[in-house]
Structure 1
Amino acid sequence: MTATAGGEADRINLVFFALADSEAEALLAARAACLRALERAPELIAWRLSDDAADDGPGFR
């Protein structure tokens, strides 16, 4: 998953480790965690998940 604010220079990559029944379930859990952080942390007001964030990770390259 990737969260961005502005151009490429403002890009960060996050790594999540999740215990899940499938890769899809783990990706959904990581995405939900990112969205909760973006909604609740005033410091992240200008940040958003990139449109390609769901395609990051093993099996999606």
Structure 2
Amino acid sequence: MTKLIYPPMPEHSLVVLLGPSGAGKSTLAATWPASQILYLDALRERSVTTSLSSSAC
């Protein structure tokens, strides 16, 4: 496998992978530790839970 070289990024940043089908987005994302990946489903669940907690007050 080709060695991946990541560009320098700020400590707190969001990386969005865009490209056509088959461009390697998922392959590249698979190289990142799970602790650094934002899962949209988990974010949605957290947002809904926070909204429900706020509306109960």
What TM-score, normalized to structure 1?
0.30
Higher relative contact order (CA 8 A, sep 6+): 1
Richer in strand (by share): 1
What TM-score, normalized to structure 2?
0.32
